[in-house]
């Protein structure tokens, strides 16, 4: 089976891995495990997309880990993008959520071939962040509120508001119950709050769920 040579960009790390070699029958799951050895991003936190058309630069999400590169019509020369979806990564690389990134469409394989599918997709962009981005969502939280993040981590709100070094809009600064973050409350040189090392994180309000009173006593 011929080797497929692709380029991989890790958006959070700002690193490129050119000319990585894979067999066409490798599954997306195994490819993610291989890439973990190079990037440190756990497979369960790895969002893997491919760009089929370099002109439109549309990113197509490879969501089915059981499919192979051949199933997705991957050929040499294509570019892959890794996004680390863990809170720790988002805290340090929030720009990946706010710039005019292409909204990903999920790849679908079938008898008609994926090449036909990708030609039907249209490029969609998220609106740029403004000063009021997530202001309404932020108003639902108060300092001291207990929250749960999208990946299930429990935390306490320590900061609410814009953060000048980051993209426009509102953020929550939280103290995580477990040391799975990557800061101590200081983000890009700005001190928001003070907590133990690796217990600080920053996220958009929409990425947090406020716990009800009967849940707020969960482990702190």
167-187 tens-digit pLDDT: 889 999 999 999 988 899 998
| This model's pTM is above 0.75 | no
16-65 tens-digit pLDDT: 999 999 999 999 999 999 999 988 889 998 999 998 877 777 888 998 99
76-113 tens-digit pLDDT: 889 999 988 876 655 455 544 444 444 455 655 554 44
140 touches 205 (CB < 8 A): yes
In angstroms, the CA 73 to CA 175 distance is: 44
Domains defined for the chain, CATH in brackets: 3-120 (3.10.20.90), 135-210 (2.30.30.190)
Residue-by-residue DSSP string for 31-82: HHHHHHHHH---GGGEEEEEES-TTTT-EEE---TTSBTTTTT--TT-EEEE
Which residue would you say has higher pLDDT here, 203 or 118? 203
């Amino acid at each position: 089976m011929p080797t497929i040579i692709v380029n991989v960009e890790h958006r959070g790390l700002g690193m490129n891995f050119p000319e990585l070699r894979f067999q066409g029958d490798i599954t997306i799951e195994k490819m993610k495990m291989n890439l973990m050895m190079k990037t440190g991003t756990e497979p369960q936190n790895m969002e893997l997309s491919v760009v089929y058309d370099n002109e439109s630069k549309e990113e197509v999400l490879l969501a089915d880990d059981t499919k192979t590169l051949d199933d997705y019509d991957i050929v040499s020369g294509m570019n892959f993008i890794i996004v680390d979806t863990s809170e720790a990564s988002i805290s340090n690389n929030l720009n990946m959520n706010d710039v005019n990134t292409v909204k990903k469409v999920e790849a679908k394989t079938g008898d008609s071939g994926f090449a036909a599918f990708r030609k039907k997709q249209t490029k969609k962009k998220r609106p740029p962040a403004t000063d009021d981005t997530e202001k309404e969502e932020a108003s639902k939280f108060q300092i001291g509120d207990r929250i749960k993040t999208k990946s299930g981590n429990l935390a306490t709100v320590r900061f609410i508001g814009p953060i000048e070094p980051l993209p426009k809009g509102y953020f929550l600064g939280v103290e995580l119950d477990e040391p799975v973050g990557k800061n101590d409350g200081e983000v890009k040189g700005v001190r928001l709050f003070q907590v133990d090392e690796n217990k600080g994180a920053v996220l958009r309000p929409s990425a947090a769920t406020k716990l009800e009173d009967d849940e707020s006593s969960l482990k702190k």
